[in-house]
Structure 1
Amino acid sequence: MFKSFEGFTDDHGRITAWPSHRRSQHQMAILDYLTGLFEPGRIYTAAEVSTLLQDHADAALEATLLDELLDGDYLAQDERGLWRADSRPTGGSPAQGE
């Protein structure tokens, strides 16, 4: 079972800090939580991913969280966009104008 990441959030539940490597179970809990915010099979634009991350985490952590999601194989990407790595993307490319 993963540890909680409660100590790394503000009063509104937004992630405000990234745990150190010696607290990797807390990192995994954060990454699992964020992955759950993405719909399986849906391809997201970079802007949509940015908005989603900013809605749930401090903007200063956005790049770190995206890197960790990609490096940890929680998200995958190609020229079409980004998607949950545990589900096959459906459709060719993300909807324009969303």
Structure 2
Amino acid sequence: MFKSFDGFTDDFGRITSWPSDRRAQHQMAILNHLTDLFESGRVYSPQEVGVMLRDHADESLEATLLTELLDGEYLTGGEQGYWRADSRPTGANTPTREG
């Protein structure tokens, strides 16, 4: 079970601060919440990911949250797109290794 992250949000539920490393359970709660916003098997452009993160968190946290999602293996991908690490993209949305 994960801790709540209510203490890190504003009145609208947007994430306003990143918990310290001493609060790893709160960090995991935030990352799980954000991961649940992404559809399994879908590839998101970097721009779409940025918009999604800004919609649910303070803009100043966008880079931190993306880094944490990638480092924690909640999301995977790169310049061509990102997807949930627990579900590989399929079909026309599958990114290629070619530039």
TM-score by length of 2: 0.90
Percent identity at matched positions? 69
Q: Which runs of 5+ in 2 are unaligned?
A: 95-99
Superposed CA offset, 1:36-83 (max 9, x none): 000000000000000000000000000000000000000000453100
CA distance in 2, matches of 1:10, 1:51: 18
Tell me if structure 2 keeps the 8 A contact 1:2–1:29.
Answer: yes
Residue in 2 that maps onto 1:86? 86
Bigger Cα displacement from structure 2, 79-88 vs 33-42? 79-88
TM-score by length of 1: 0.91
Residue in 1 that maps onto 2:77? 77
Q: Which runs of 4+ in 1 moved over 4 A?
A: none
RMSD: 1.3
Q: Which runs of 5+ in 1 are unaligned?
A: none
Residue in 2 that maps onto 1:26? 26
Q: Does 1:6 align with 2:6?
A: yes
